[in-house]
Amino acid sequence: MTHTTNKRLLVIAPFCSLPGEAYFNRFLYLAQRAAARCEVTLVTSAFRHFDKRQRDRRVQCEGLRLILIDEPGYAGNVSLARLRSHAVFVRHLKQWLQDELPRRPFDLVYSALPLLQTNILLGRLKERHGFRLAIDVQDLWPEAISALLPWASRLPRPLMPFAAKADRAYGAADHLVAVSRTYLARARQANRQATGQVVYIGSDKARIDAVAARALPAGSMHFVYAGTLGHSYDLQTLVDAFAGLAGPRLPCQLHILGDGPLRARLARRAPPNVHFHGFVPYDEMIAIAKGADCLVNPIKQAAQQSVTNKLSDYLMLGKPIISSQTNAEVRQLLAQAPAVQYRAGHIASFHAAVDAVRALRHDGSVAPALLRQFDRRLSYAHIDALIDGTPAQEAA
């Protein structure tokens, strides 16, 4: 392939999805965009986090070099086996970098966070090998553990598990990119020298616009939750709430699109008007969401998520949203969309939100300026500029 520059880019993303696999992935998207301009190497794990399987070694990414790092894998997202597996990944990545960097210098290393230790490792290597390091903050550590260990959110940050390691990881960056202002502000507490910018995960507006809405059964109000069935989400409240929304006055149906560790527990208690679709292809998810009346963003109060993948898609769809997220940045964004708030853990509050959605009078519109921030074909130009060496700083 002929490149428009002689620059070399290394993208390190342990949880990257590859061509033909489920889910959009920011790092594959950026690597493929950059491959038209420079020489790109994409490094990820040989183990797929989303379905806990080892990858086929024959997988390829057209236009760029793909490196799979050995990792034994794990069954549970919260487990000692996962910690051991990531430690093996870091050890093998270190060996690969020690072999690779002396013979193939890179201009920029663009690295996902998490993992913490990969970024600490890159911070140690960058001066010796002369590359700039951009860290893209996808999740907060150690704050992310508070959904599982709510008591941890009450600790002073220096006393939280992994706090010192997280600060070392953030501090390694020359450039900080984050999927929300909340995350960028946290990273900057540990690193005020790095340039910083916020680029939401976003959605592909043209692709969403091209998908036709699925016709859902008449006579009911249809709700959609799309995402992981995990501990950060207020899913038990959501499922229990629909037991009281099956009456003849206006029957309500909930469509759960996704899978995760809580599916079996939720399904055992779910009333008949809650439908578990499991993982579905992205276009099918969009079709069902387009045919629904309302989208649900149920997040526990202790959870630290800010602007998630699902929120990007929800905003681009322009449907009414019921949300329990208390994050100030998210609340500000939802103020520019047809959205109603409920209190996580409270069924009556959710029922009141449903009544409020029924009373909404809207034209399906989200503020145009907000849509531009979430259309990744436009917004990712900011990361392109960083890769090309001309980053624009955006204050948190």
Q: What is the pLDDT of residues 202-240, one digit of tens each?
A: 999 999 999 999 999 999 999 999 999 988 899 999 999
Residue 217 and residue 2: Cα distance in Å, rounded? 52
For residues 81-97, average pLDDT: 97
Q: Is the pLDDT of residue 294 over 60?
A: yes
For residues 2-9, average pLDDT: 83
pTM (two decimals): 0.88
User: At 131, is the pLDDT very low, low, confident or very high (cuts 50, 70, 90)?
Assistant: very high
Count how many residues are written for the chain.
396
| pLDDT, position 1 | 64
Q: Is the pLDDT of residue 151 over 50?
A: no
pLDDT tens-digit readout, 350-369: 999 999 999 886 555 788 88
Percent of the chain with pLDDT over 90: 77
Residues 67, 43 contacting (CB under 8 angstroms): yes
Residue 41 and residue 35: Cα distance in Å, rounded? 9
Bigger pLDDT: 297 vs 51:
297
For residues 16-36, average pLDDT: 92
| pLDDT, position 392 | 56
| pLDDT, position 63 | 94
- Enumerate residues 6+ apart whose C-beta is below 8 A from 259: 228, 229, 278, 279
For 136, the 3-state DSSP assignment is strand
| pLDDT, position 363 | 57
pLDDT tens-digit readout, 298-334: 999 888 789 999 999 999 999 999 999 999 999 999 9
User: What is the residue whose two structure tokens read 């910083």?
Assistant: 196
Residue 249 and residue 270: Cα distance in Å, rounded? 20
Tokens of 73: 């894998």
Structural element, H or E, at residue 85: helix 80-100
| pLDDT, position 247 | 75
Burial 138-176 (b: 16+ CB within 10 A, else e): bbbbbbbbbbeeeebbeeeeeebeebeebbbbbbbbbbb
| pLDDT, position 389 | 87
Burial class (CB in 10 A: 0-12, 13-18, 19+), 257: buried
| pLDDT, position 391 | 61
For residues 342-356, average pLDDT: 97
Geometric angle at alpha carbon 154, from 153 and 157, rounded to 5°? 70
| pLDDT, position 145 | 55
Q: Which of 220, 219, 180 is nearest to 198 (CA)?
A: 180
- Enumerate residues 6+ apart whose C-beta is below 8 A from 320: 293, 294, 295, 338, 339, 340, 357, 360, 362
Q: Is the pLDDT of residue 396 over 50?
A: no
pLDDT tens-digit readout, 33-79: 999 999 999 999 999 998 899 999 999 999 999 999 999 999 988 78
Q: Is the pLDDT of residue 95 over 60?
A: yes
- How far from the centroid of its chain's Cα atoms is residue 287's Cα? 21
